[in-house]
Amino acid sequence: MDTVLRELSVGQKIAAKVLWSTSIKSGKKSNTSNNTADSSDDDDSSDDEEDRQTSSRVMQLTMRQDEIAAESSEIQHRLTWRTNDKLVPGTLVAGVVGGVDHSGAWIHVSQSLRGFVHPTHCSKNDDVHTLNKSGPKGVLRIGDVVRCVVLKVDVDKRRLELSLRKDVISEYACGGDEWRKAGAIVVCRLGLPQDMSVMDPPAIGVQLDYGSFGRVCVTNINEEEEWCNFDKTSLLGTYKKGLILDTSSSTKRRFDISLRESHLMVGYSTKTISHYSKNDIVSGYVIGVSKSGCFVRLTPTITARVMLKNLSDGFVKEPKSEFPRGMLVEGKLLSVNKETGRLEMTLKDSIVNRDDDDEDDDNQALDYKDLSEGLKLDGYVRKVESFGVFINLVNTKGGLSGMCHISECSDERIADLNTIYNRGARVRVVVLARDAKKKEYR
């Protein structure tokens, strides 16, 4: 289109046919049509009456060679709001880009009809790389002739929404009636309007078009080996291709999306409860914390519970601050109930990082009676006081703990134990004495 316009100059002779004309009378317009093509929404007037009142006349011309040679009755009707019965979702139209900015593009379908294209529908080939770099202006230029499909029509507001995406056009051209169906690949802009919030966090909301929004579970943002602590700040406003999951509902306008490259390539699949077994090392995201522990999301539909005593080898004073929502954790499954779907998990390093040779758990775990004088053990600092350090012992039944008096904490004098020991620090200890009757040891 730019090339055609650059070849035209003022005064140049061209071959054209008049489609319709408009007379300007006393600051008002009236229209006459020279063929059956639609022109505007005003009433027609006779030529004689127009000649008496006209100060100027505007004509709509066509330079299309096929229309110049055709009879007036054979010329394609121009779409207007008066022909809104033809403006239904799925209608394929051609147009010219009239404007482009960060909010999208305007397409002139005819002289009196234009439609809006959301940024996620501006790229014919879903070029998210260019969209992220330059926005809609990177994939469209004013004057481009484009093929598009009608997505939505609001006659009352006279709003027409279009898509330039090849996949959407193909969907409707092949007789489809919904481009947002399960299994479809879409272009998403990450982030929601300020007055909206995402459901069931941690997750990130996405926009599919002007009025369609979706949700991406934190486990479906990246491949599992690329998981990291959830921080949506760097993602907001970016464009990504996503896969609509079968848990979506187009009628309820609720769309679940996956951004994982593997899902885009081979389709969606996720682990079920049958994939998990006791002692499996798994990763997941903290989704909620209470006084009794926390819950960790392993997949969009599977969550494991971590009891307070299993959060750490050390003492956890403020679980909510130490295990915030969206934090990535690694743990070991203590139990898997495949009938109820319940999983119990521990985040204790002493258990998660235990060597396979030491993992007969309860069979090899030490009981109180096994703690003989001189026995060396590993442990974690649970609490630091002015008079000593409380230590949780590793690989003991029931999670045995003991206290190391300040006089036994170092060969040198210590003024403040907090300068040497921190809660959760791993330490090596030796049993100095044991009282079998009182079941005490130090």
The answer to whether 45 and 51 are in contact (CB under 8 A) is no
Closest among 261, 257, 260 to 249, alpha carbons compared: 257
What's the pLDDT at 189? 97
If you classify domain 81-173 with CATH, what class do you get? Answer: mainly beta
What's the pLDDT at 42? 44
| 354-366 mean pLDDT | 56
Residue with the larger pLDDT of the pair 410 and 201: 201
| 360-373 mean pLDDT | 65
> Cβ neighbours of residue 429 under 8 Å, at least 6 residues apart?
376, 377, 378, 379, 391, 393, 402, 404
| 90-100 mean pLDDT | 92
- Distance in angstroms (rounded) separating the CA atoms of residues 236 and 189: 8
| 162-166 mean pLDDT | 96
| pLDDT tier at 362, thresholds 50, 70, 90 | very low
Q: Which CATH superfamily is domain 365-441 in?
A: Nucleic acid-binding proteins (2.40.50.140)
Mean pLDDT of the chain: 83
The answer to whether 310 and 346 are in contact (CB under 8 A) is yes
What's the pLDDT at 161? 95
Closest among 103, 185, 115, 101 to 148, alpha carbons compared: 115
pTM: 0.70
- Distance in angstroms (rounded) separating the CA atoms of residues 67 and 19: 10
pLDDT over 90 (residue 187): yes
pLDDT over 60 (residue 1): no
Residue spans per domain, the chain: 15-74, 81-173, 185-266, 273-352, 365-441
What's the pLDDT at 44? 46
Q: Lowest mean pLDDT of 40-49, 178-187, 211-220, name the range.
A: 40-49
pLDDT over 90 (residue 396): no
If you classify domain 185-266 with CATH, what class do you get? Answer: mainly beta
Tens digits of residue pLDDT in 22-68: 676 655 555 554 444 444 444 444 455 545 554 677 777 778 777 77
What's the pLDDT at 441? 66
What's the pLDDT at 439? 58
Residue with the larger pLDDT of the pair 47 and 196: 196
- Distance in angstroms (rounded) separating the CA atoms of residues 46 and 52: 10
The size of the chain, in residues, is 442
What's the pLDDT at 291? 81
Tens digits of residue pLDDT in 121-150: 999 999 999 999 999 999 999 989 899 999
What's the pLDDT at 24? 65
What's the pLDDT at 17? 81
Q: Are 185-266 and 273-352 in the same CATH fold?
A: yes
Transcribe 261-316 into DSSP letters. HHHHHH------GGG--TT-EEEEEEEEEETTEEEEEEETTEEEEEEGGGS-SS--
Q: Could you tell me the fold of the domain covering 273-352?
A: OB fold (Dihydrolipoamide Acetyltransferase, E2P) (2.40.50)
| 257-271 mean pLDDT | 93
| 278-304 mean pLDDT | 93
